[in-house]
Amino acid sequence: MNSIRWLLLCLSMAANAAALAAEPEANAMAAINRAGELRMLSQRIVRTYVQIGMKVQPKVDRLLLADSVRRFDANLRWLEGFPATEPLQLGDIKGRWRRFGGIFHGKPELPQAIELNAAAETILEGAERLTQQLQGNVASSGGRMVNLAGRQRMLSQRLAKAYMLRVWGDPSPAVARDMASATREFVAALEELRRYGGNSADIRSEIEELSLQWEWLAAAIATEGTGTYPLIVAEASEAILASADRLTTLYERLDTH
C-alpha cells in the first residue's frame, strides 16, 4: 500500500471514529429536547382546550390540540427507545398521561378545564424531572442550553394558559401566581441565553427574534380587557413557541457538528 492510499485510509478511519463519537452526544441532546417538549405540550393542551371552550379560534385550536396529543405520544415512543431514559420516570409520565387523556375529551367546560390544569401540573413535574435526568448525562454546557431554551417553550404556553383560564373565569389565586412566575422565569432565562459565550450568529439572531415575540406576548397579556385580546395572546403564544423551538434545535445541533 503506497503512502497516499495509507493516508486516505487513516483519514477515513478518523472521520468514521469522529462520527461514531458524535452520535451518542447528538442522541443525548435530542433526548433532552424531546423530554423538554413534553413540559410544553402539557401546557399547550390545556391552553388549546380552554380556548376551544372560550371559542377563541375553535377550528384552529382543535387542530393544535390534536397536534399536541400526537407529538406527546411520539415523544414518549422515542424516549422509550432511548437507552439512557430512566424507565421508572418515563413509566410515571406515561401513567399520568393516560389519566390526563381521560379528561380533555368531550365538550370543554370551565370545571373540566380546572381539573385538566391540575392534572397537567403532575405531567409537567414528571417531565421536568426526566429532562433534568437526561441533561445530567451530558458533560458539556450544551445540554443545559438545550434544556434552558426548550423550557422557554413551556413558559410561553404556561403564561398564555394561565391568562386564558383567568379570562374564562378561574377564580384560583394560583392562576395569577403562575402568570407572575412564568414571566419572571422567562425573562431570567432569556438573559442567560443572551450571555452564553458559545452562541453562534444564527443563535444570536434567533434570540433577538424570541425577544421580539416575547414583547408582543407580554404586551398583549398586560392589556386588561376581553374582546380580541385572547386571540392576540393565542397567536403570540404560538409565534413565541415556534421561535423557541427553532432556538432549541439550534442549541441541540451546536455541540454535535
pLDDT digits (tens, 9 = 90+) for 113-147: 999 999 999 999 999 999 999 999 898 899 999 99
Say which residue, 18 or 235, is predicted with more confidence.
235
Q: Is 162 a domain residue?
A: yes
**For residue 164, is it within any domain?**
yes
Span 157-180, average pLDDT: 96
In a domain, 17, yes or no: no
* Mean per-residue pLDDT, 180-200: 97
pLDDT band at 102 (very low <50, low <70, confident <90, very high): confident
Q: How confident is the model at residue 31 (pLDDT cuts 50, 70, 90)?
A: very high
State the total domains in the chain: 1
157 lies in some domain = yes
Instruction: Determine, yes or no, domain membership for 117.
Output: yes
Q: What is the mean pLDDT of the chain?
A: 89
User: Is 147 a member of any domain?
Assistant: yes
Average pLDDT over residues 232-237: 96
Structure confidence by residue, pLDDT tens digits, 46-94: 999 999 999 999 999 999 999 999 999 999 999 999 999 999 999 999 9
Asked if residue 90 lies in contact with residue 73, where contact means CB atoms within 8 angstroms, the answer is no
Q: Rounded distance, CA 169 to CA 12, Å?
A: 64
Q: Is the pLDDT of residue 202 over 80?
A: yes
pLDDT above 90 as % of the chain: 80
| pLDDT computed for residue 11 by the predictor | 40
pLDDT of residue 101: 87
Is residue 9 in a domain? Answer: no
Residue 20 has pLDDT above 80, yes or no: no
How large is the average pLDDT for residues 163-170?
96
The answer to the question of residue 188 being in a domain is yes
Q: What is the DSSP string of the chain?
A: --HHHHHHHHHHHHHHHHHHHHHHHHHHHHHHHHHHHHHHHHHHHHHHHHHHHHTSSHHHHHHHHHHHHHHHHHHHHHHHT-TTS-HHHHHHHHHHHHHHHTTSSSS--HHHHHHHHHHHHHHHHHHHHHHHHHHTT--STHHHHHHHHHHHHHHHHHHHHHHHHHHHT---HHHHHHHHHHHHHHHHHHHHHHH-TT--HHHHHHHHHHHHHHHHHHHHHHS---TTHHHHHHHHHHHHHHHHHHHHHHHHHHTT-
- Enclosing domain of residue 83: 24-254
Looking at per-residue confidence, does 26 or 89 come out higher? 89
Cα–Cα distance measured from residue 153 to residue 156, given in angstroms and rounded to the nearest whole number = 5
